[in-house]
Structure 1
Amino acid sequence: MTENDPGKTSERAERERRRKLAEIFGDVLPEATSDDRADRTTGGDDERWYRENRPPHHDAR
């Protein structure tokens, strides 16, 4: 690879981006959060929890 190789430049830019993020936020941030991933398993638990914990004044009249 030469110094003018685009792959080398993008690697440098990515390292610099990660360094700046680490400088600002401290710990390394995950590339994807749990709500971004497709492997999220929901069996309707969120909806069930909402219905069980919904305040009475939110019920339909």
Structure 2
Amino acid sequence: MTGDGDRGRTPDEQSEWERRRRRAEVFGDVLPETTSDERDDAAAPSRGSESATDRWLREQVPPHHGS
């Protein structure tokens, strides 16, 4: 899948886009460029639509810490 121009070149000799393309060929595009907290996908979830993980974390807060 790699082009003939990539053969024999060290990662230092390749440009950033070549390294990204090669990494995507090997590992796939598994990580987004930005994280969910950096994106404005939707407004913050309301209390009724919180995830199970968030709900579990809230339930683990000791009573003396308040809510």
TM-score category, normalised to shorter length? 0.3 to 0.5
TM-score by length of 2: 0.38
Specify which structure has the bigger relative contact order, considering alpha-carbon pairs within 8 angstroms and separated by 6 or more residues.
Answer: 2
User: Greater share of helix residues, 1 or 2?
Assistant: 1
TM-score by length of 1: 0.40
